[in-house]
Amino acid sequence: MTAFRNSPASLTQAQIFLRLITGCASRSDIDAAPGCSRTLIIRALIVTLLCGAGVIGTNAALINGVAQHGVVSLQFAGTVSEAKSILETWGWGAVATDGNAPRLADTAHRVLWLDFPFMTAYTVLLALLCGRLAADERYRGARRTAFRSGVAAAWVAGLADLSENIAHLKLLDQLDTPAADMLVRWAWLSASLKWTLIALIASLLAAGALRMQVRRASVR
């Protein structure tokens, strides 16, 4: 790693990172620092897994018969009444009789705040993966364009997740106000966009990985 940093003809790890996450990296960039892109992806994966574990572990306390997936269930609440039925089981409203309700109310806030580092980590990871495939010389034309589009889609998905979290944080404080209906729709649209893009990116990456495996098998 030190060798390529000290070479005036090569790029630093930070420069390669920026080129990968913006879809601007080329094969020569990757060759200038052997193993650098893999190291960046592994680090991003580790951070994503750690942040994801924190979110999943905290979210587990919010899972019940109404919110079967915790905060994820709230993401797909399309109306105020649906959102209220979920939030009430976590301590909002008079119908919440569970003695753990105050703790669950705090937990809902905590999950949303923990989601900020998680969304940043998975956005960077997806952008790195798509950027690395876009830099592969074996992919040209439409395929390379698709992977570069995947980089952009990763950032849009991250922004949609950010938008969704902001809407939910506002909703927790404004559930009984006229703004609640707008906030629920805002969160639902953001969540729908986020999950649609993540599904498309996952399909794109799976197709790229499968193609690489087929090529390796044919070479053998």
The pLDDT tens digits of the residues spanning 103-156 come to: 677 899 999 999 999 999 999 999 999 999 888 877 778 888 999 999 999 999
> Percent of the chain beyond pLDDT 70?
87
Closest by CA to 28, choosing from 15, 40, 41, 39, is: 15
Of the two residues 75 and 138, the one the predictor is more confident about is 75
Residue among 117, 127, 126 at smallest CA distance from 53: 117
How far apart are the C-alpha atoms of 88 and 86, rounded to whole Å?
A: 5
Model pLDDT for residues 5-26, shown as the tens digit of each residue: 444 345 788 888 999 999 988 8
Task: Give CA–CA dist 127/122, Å, rounded.
Answer: 8
Report the predicted TM-score, pTM, of the whole model to 2 decimal places. Answer: 0.86
Spans of all domains in the chain: 2-219
